[in-house]
């Protein structure tokens, strides 16, 4: 209940403040902050998550780098793969290579295959190889 109240008050406050900003300032801010946030998401976040994976341990770092690289090739962004690599690597370091880790690896592999099909990655890869 407290979280819902704080969230409602925060959203109402942010919307009220946003309505007070003049439109000319909004256009300037959009021109500056739009590219900055895009660069942050595209370049900085993958580096942060891959460094976090490397710092978390040998297995976690390996899974983060491998899945981050595959994600970069398939999805053009390494962040989802690095996050999945951290989850798989930490699960493997905590509980070993058990059934739940194997299921997670299979689900991630299927996910990457399906996303690659939807984005045309496999056709492009085939065209490059042949």
Q: For the chain, which residues make up each domain, given as ranges? A: 2-129
What is the reported pLDDT for 110? 95
Q: Is the pLDDT of residue 106 over 90?
A: yes
Exposure b/e, 69-91, CB count within 10 A at least 16 = b: ebbbebbebbbbbbbbbbbbbbb
pLDDT band at 122 (very low <50, low <70, confident <90, very high): confident
Q: Is the pLDDT of residue 65 over 90?
A: yes
What is the reported pLDDT for 9? 94
**Stretch 85-111: mean pLDDT, rounded?**
93
pLDDT band at 64 (very low <50, low <70, confident <90, very high): very high
**Interior CA angle at 36 toward 32 and 40, to 5°?**
170
- Give the separation between CA 88 and CA 80, rounded to whole angstroms: 12
Q: Name the pTM for this structure.
A: 0.73
Per-residue pLDDT tens for 18-28? 888 888 888 88
Report CA torsion sign: 8, 14, 17, 18: negative
Q: Is the pLDDT of residue 57 over 90?
A: no
Q: Is the pLDDT of residue 124 over 90?
A: no
What is the reported pLDDT for 41? 86
Mean pLDDT of the chain: 90
Per-residue pLDDT tens for 30-42? 888 889 888 888 8
- Give the separation between CA 97 and CA 16, rounded to whole angstroms: 51
């Amino acid at each position: 209940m407290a979280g819902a109240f704080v969230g409602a008050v925060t959203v109402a406050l942010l919307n009220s403040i946003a309505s007070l900003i003049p439109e000319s300032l909004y256009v300037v801010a959009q021109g500056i902050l739009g590219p900055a946030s895009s660069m942050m998401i595209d370049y900085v976040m993958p580096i942060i998550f891959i460094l976090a994976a490397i710092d978390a341990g040998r297995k976690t770092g390996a899974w983060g780098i491998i899945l981050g690289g595959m994600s970069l090739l398939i999805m053009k962004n390494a962040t989802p793969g690095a996050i999945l690599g951290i989850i798989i690597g930490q699960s493997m370091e905590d509980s070993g290579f058990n059934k739940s880790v194997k299921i997670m690896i299979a689900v991630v592999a299927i996910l990457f295959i399906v996303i690659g099909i939807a984005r045309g990655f496999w056709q492009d890869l085939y065209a490059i190889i042949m």
